[in-house]
Amino acid sequence: MRQWDGIGLEEFLAAHPKIRITEINDDRVELAGEYQLKAQLAGSQLVDQTYQLRLVCPRDYPKTLPKVFDEGKYFPRTQEYHTYPDGSFCLASEIKIKLLLLDDHSLAAFFEKIIDRFLYAVTHRIEFGFFPYGELAHGEQGLIEDYGEMFGLSGKLSVLRALQALGKRKREANKLPCPCGCGRRLGLCDYRLILNQFRSIERLRWFQLHLTESFKPFEKPQKIKKKSRTI
């Protein structure tokens, strides 16, 4: 158990006695049991619900994020409810989760900042018909909206430029067009200071792969050939 002290495993189990370890080894720890949430957002309904959850936390967390599953089949397994067919949750974009856990990645913080918010929002949708926080689109469009909000940008091109800059060393990134749309290089714009705050979240290689694997590149518009007119 000592190898898992860094995520506060014992403290989490003590705070949630109905959750137990079902598997633990050098690669991962798996927890399962009842998890209760009682919460209310201002202007929204009270949620008081008990869930049957299973959590699989990899050894290299927070580099690789845990997966959480609905074992009680409370959540519909559809995109509308952000739940995959296997019962696992689509919690949020990886960048947003890692940003929220940057200062504290204990299991307690993971549940408080990520899981509780998800459970409250989707349960509110099931019981009362709407998401209290609003809802992002799915797939690439959802990522564009999410990253745009985090980066303080608008539009796909700006978001892709920000991710491209995060995938390069500062000296190289500063030569790129600034994602803010000012028309100058990143190194000449104060926006570089905002973007640099995200560099501690992941390595350059991660941002490079995420950019190529998660987003479709812009297609260059084809030139329309003008037909010559004969008199």
Percentage with pLDDT > 70 across the chain: 91
- For each of the domains in the chain, give its residue range(s) and CATH number, in order of start: 2-128 (3.10.110), 139-214 (no CATH)
Which pLDDT belongs to residue 221? 44
pTM, 2 dp = 0.84
Distant-in-sequence contacts of 78-85, Cβ < 8 A, 24+ apart: 79/138, 81/122, 81/125, 81/126, 82/118, 82/122, 83/122
Query: Each residue of 136-163: pLDDT tens digit?
Result: 667 788 889 989 999 999 999 999 999 9
Query: Each residue of 58-91: pLDDT tens digit?
Result: 999 999 999 999 999 999 999 999 999 999 999 9
**Residue listed under structure tokens 């640099």:** 196
